[in-house]
Amino acid sequence: MAKKKIKKIETRPFDSAEYLSSDEAIGAYMEEALETSDPAFIAHALGTVARARGMSKVARKAGLSRESLYKALGPEGNPEFGTVIRVMQALGLRFSITPTHAH
C-alpha cells in the first residue's frame, strides 16, 4: 500500500504592523486599543505602531535606544507614562479626552 503524501501548508504569524500603512489605519488601531482599557495591550499596540513606522526611527525621535523601546513596549514591558508620551509624540499621535458621562 502506497503512502499518501501529505501536502504541508506554510504559515507565518499574523503581524498587524503590516496593515498599519496609513495615518487613518494607525488612528483606528490605537482607538480600539485604548477602548480595552488594558495598559499592557495598549503598550503592545503602541509597539506595533512603532514597528510599522520603523522602530529605529521612532526610538531616535523619542530620545530612546531601539533596544529600550523594544523592551518597554514588548510583551513583558511596563513603560513609564513619560515614555508612552514621548513615543506617541514621535509617532505623531496625541491623546484626546472625551467624557463618558459615567460618574
Mean pLDDT of 92-100: 85
Please name the amino acid found at residue 80. Answer: E
Residue 16 per-residue DSSP state: G
pTM of the entire predicted model: 0.80
Output the 3-class SS for 38-56. Answer: CHHHHHHHHHHHHHHHCHH
Tell me, what's the pLDDT at 75? 82
Rounded to 10 degrees, what is the CA torsion of 85, 96, 38, 81? Answer: 20
pLDDT, tens only, 41-92 = 999 999 999 999 999 999 999 999 999 999 999 888 889 999 999 999 999 9
Mean pLDDT of 87-99: 89
Tell me, what's the pLDDT at 28? 94
